[in-house]
Every structure is written in C-alpha cells, then in structure tokens.
C-alpha cells in the first residue's frame, strides 16, 4: 500500500505551511481547513475535504495558546470520526513548562492537556524539542519527542563563521549546547546565571572569558519567549570582546518587543525553525517529523 493511501495530513491554521511540507514528504493527501472566529472569540473549524486512512493532525499550540489548543483538540476530535488512528503532531507544545506542581495548590496544566488529547481521540503525540520531557510523562498514549538540533546545525555549517563557539545562556541548557557543539565539531560553554533574591536582578557569571574573545558565538536555547536570558547573555558576551552573536532556537515565540531587544543587545541574527511561523523561522523541521511518523 502506498503512503498516499495510508495517510492524510490535516493542517491546522497555526501550522498550515509546515503541514503541507510534511504531506509532501510523505507523498500523502493534504486536507486544509477553514476557520471562522465569531465576535465573541469562538472558533468554528470546517475541513475542506474528507480525510481517509491514518490521519495526521498538525497544529502548534503557540500564542494565542488557549485558542490554538482548543482548535487542535477540535481537529483531533473531528479526525477521529474518520479514522481509528490519529496522530497529533504538535510541533510547539504550549503549557509544557507547567509539568509539575512547583508551589502548593498549583494546577499541573500539562496533565490536563494530556488527558484532553487522549479523550478526543489522539492515538499518538509527536512534539519537537519539548521544553520538559517530564511533560510527556503525563500522557497515557504513545509519545515521541523529536529534535530539530541537527537541522539547525546544518544551517550554521553553511555560514562562514570565525572560530565559532556554542554557548548556553544558562546551566540548564548545557546538554543542548553540548549536543549542538558535538554536531558542529566545535567547543561549547555554559554561562552561569545568578539572581539576587532581594532585587530579583539577574547577573551572568562566567569563568570562560578567554574562550569568547574574537570568536563568533552561537547562543543556543530550546525556545525564546520574552528574550530575557538571551539579552543578558548577549550583553555579557559583548563585554568579553566576542565577534558576531547568533541566537539559535527551535521555537521563537518572541513575545512583545523581544526581537527588538535581542537585536539591541547585539545579536546579529535570530535563527529558528518553522514549528512557529515567523520571519526568523528559516529552518524546516518537516523531514524530522515525517521520519517520526513513518
């Protein structure tokens, strides 16, 4: 049986272009949808054609997070009417940071989302570089987290960088930076952040200043939201006389004026993937997602 007969890819409005690319790679049928938003904010979704075979719903949950979550759930629910096998591809999984009870009485929202996706009929979940692997432990169905790092590295290998150094903006991302640097075949360091408990001010401490001077820097993170960590890291690195600074991430949320502040801090370019569409999302992750599906 051909892939065309086996799969139908449904592209939600938040991930339409990525969904089309995935369908092309799988040589499968693509079904788009129409969205109508009523004055009170309700969403009404209509599939353009009837899906067949195994169904893949592609829909990221980025801002407006709650609206995109409901739309993803609605599409999965509709897809289940046509197939007993529905893969929910959620390239950017919103609420992944709410994966545990950090303070007493906090709602673990990721647990609720896992239950909802199962309840509406998802039989498998595929995400890209989820913020916390703990988040996937809330699911009682098959899950797969795929990495976009190799694809981002391929992009940077094409650039003419001078003695590049991979840098994690904090110690929490050291594993990511190490993996990135290994694939780039270059060195890496991780900056150490310190937060003043009285003022809340964030300071960067690092003993690797000699490694930074006169080198191109690749600041690596899984996501850039408000850009605070990237801004602090870039300002610190510029003081150490580095050359150009690039910010690389899988998910570029870039809330508010984040992009402007990051550039003002000295970052020459922001490179992200198409898990979230935008002008920085120049790295395509459709290949890694397609491989995870097959």
For the domain that residue 186 is a member of, what is the CATH number?
A: 3.40.50.2020
Q: Is the pLDDT of residue 4 over 80?
A: no
What is the C-alpha separation between 7 and 11, in angstroms, rounded?
13
For residue 1, name the pLDDT band (cuts at 50, 70, 90).
Answer: very low
Both 169 and 249 in a single domain? yes
Q: Is the pLDDT higher at 201 or at 183? A: 183
Residue-wise pLDDT tens digits, 47-79: 999 999 999 999 999 999 999 999 999 999 999
Q: Is the pLDDT of residue 9 over 90?
A: yes
CB 157 within 8 A of CB 135: no
For residue 3, name the pLDDT band (cuts at 50, 70, 90).
Answer: very low
For residue 268, name the pLDDT band (cuts at 50, 70, 90).
Answer: very high
pLDDT the model gives residue 203: 74
For residue 136, name the pLDDT band (cuts at 50, 70, 90).
Answer: very high
Q: For residue 279, which phi and psi values (nearest 5 degrees)?
A: -75, -15
In a domain? residue 270: yes
For residue 176, name the pLDDT band (cuts at 50, 70, 90).
Answer: very high
In a domain? residue 108: yes
Exposure of 126 in the CB half-sphere (CA atoms within 13 A): 23
Both 130 and 220 in a single domain? no
In a domain? residue 70: yes
Both 100 and 158 in a single domain? no
Both 73 and 143 in a single domain? yes
Q: What proportion of the chain, given as a percentage, has pLDDT over 90? A: 89
Both 258 and 182 in a single domain? yes
Q: Is the pLDDT of residue 15 over 80?
A: yes
pTM for this predicted structure? 0.93
Q: Is the pLDDT of residue 5 over 60?
A: no
Both 96 and 224 in a single domain? no
Spell 205-219 as b/e; 16+ CB within 10 A means b: ebeeeebbeebbbbb
By annotation, the residues acting in catalysis are: 193
Running DSSP on this structure, what letter comes out for residue 173? Answer: G
The domain in which residue 161 lies consists of: 149-274
Number of domains in the chain: 2
Q: Is the pLDDT of residue 8 over 90?
A: yes
Both 178 and 45 in a single domain? no
Q: What proportion of the chain, given as a percentage, has pLDDT over 70? A: 94
Q: Is the pLDDT of residue 154 over 90?
A: yes
Both 216 and 202 in a single domain? yes
Exposure of 279 in the CB half-sphere (CA atoms within 13 A): 3
Average pLDDT of span 10-32: 97
**Assigned token pair, 229:** 């960590």
In a domain? residue 279: no
In a domain? residue 49: yes
Both 202 and 115 in a single domain? no
In a domain? residue 280: no
In a domain? residue 176: yes
In a domain? residue 250: yes
Both 86 and 154 in a single domain? no
Both 9 and 68 in a single domain? yes
Both 179 and 64 in a single domain? no
Average pLDDT of span 232-248: 95
Running DSSP on this structure, what letter comes out for residue 265? Answer: T
Q: If you average pLDDT over every residue of the chain, what do you get?
A: 94
Average pLDDT of span 18-46: 96
């Amino acid at each position: 049986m051909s892939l065309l007969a086996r799969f139908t890819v449904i592209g939600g409005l938040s991930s339409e272009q990525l969904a089309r690319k995935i369908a092309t790679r799988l040589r499968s049928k693509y079904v788009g949808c129409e969205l109508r938003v009523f004055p009170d904010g309700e969403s009404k979704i209509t599939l353009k054609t009837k899906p067949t075979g195994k169904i893949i719903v592609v829909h990221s949950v980025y801002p407006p997070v709650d609206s995109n979550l409901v739309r993803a759930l609605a599409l999965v629910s509709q897809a289940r009417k046509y197939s007993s096998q529905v893969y929910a591809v959620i390239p950017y999984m919103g609420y992944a940071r709410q994966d545990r009870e950090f303070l007493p009485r906090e709602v673990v929202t990721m647990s609720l989302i896992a239950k909802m996706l199962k309840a509406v009929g998802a039989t498998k979940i595929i995400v890209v570089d989820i913020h916390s692997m703990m988040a996937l432990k809330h699911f009682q169905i098959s899950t797969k987290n795929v990495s976009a790092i190799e694809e981002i590295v391929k992009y940077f290998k094409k650039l003419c960088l001078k003695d590049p150094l991979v840098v994690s903006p904090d110690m929490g991302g050291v594993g990511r930076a190490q993996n990135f640097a290994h694939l780039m075949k270059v060195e890496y360091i991780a900056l150490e952040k310190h937060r003043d408990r009285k003022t809340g001010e964030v300071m960067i401490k690092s003993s690797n200043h000699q490694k930074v001077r006169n080198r191109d820097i690749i600041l690596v993170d899984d996501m850039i939201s408000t850009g605070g960590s990237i801004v602090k890291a870039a300002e610190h690195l510029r003081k150490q006389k580095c050359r150009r600074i690039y910010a690389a991430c899988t998910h570029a949320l870039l809330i508010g004026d984040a992009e402007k502040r990051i550039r003002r801090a000295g970052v020459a370019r922001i490179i992200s993937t198409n898990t979230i569409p935008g002008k920085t999302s120049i790295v395509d992750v459709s290949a890694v997602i397609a491989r995870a599906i097959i």
